[in-house]
Amino acid sequence: MMDLLLKLWKTLRLPKLWQLKILRMVEDQFLVGVTGVIFSKDNTILLLKHTYRKVAWGLPGGYIKAKEHPKEALEREIEEETGFIISADTRYKIRTDRDSARLDIVYIGALMGGEFKASHEVSEAGFFTLDTLPVIRKDQLILIEKIMRERNEGSREDMS
């Protein structure tokens, strides 16, 4: 059956736009997003209180627009939602969200400036130490703990 469909596909020679439309109708789709673990100068982590999430507090992030680099997407999303200017410095990992059809690119970055202003998506922002984190999703907590552990191990190695 698959061979027959492949032959038909090659014979039809549909324009690219039509091919894409057909593929989108029959293939699973997912979104590509970015998440940031953003540190302030005093090594605290930026968390946002989102207006639309079940667990309100969480890491900043959003979706990538067409023709946008993931680093630019994270920097844009955070500025739009909070007024903060950040630098997405290091791509840390790519992960999947098991609760939705989302592929997420995680960056570690730094706060560069700006002043917080609430938006329709974010009502509050805060900078937290590992000991003072509000309730956040477990997967985000594990991610933050791992990054903090690696940063601490890296600073010990720098001292020797």
CA distances from 93 to 12, 21, 57, 105 (A): 40, 30, 21, 6
The token pair that represents 39 in the structure block: 């540190």
Catalytic residue chosen out of the listed positions 75, 124, 145, 153: 124
Distance CA 140, CA 122 (A): 17
Distance CA 22, CA 120 (A): 35
The token pair that represents 93 in the structure block: 């990992």
Specify whether 27 is catalytic. no
Catalytic site positions: 124
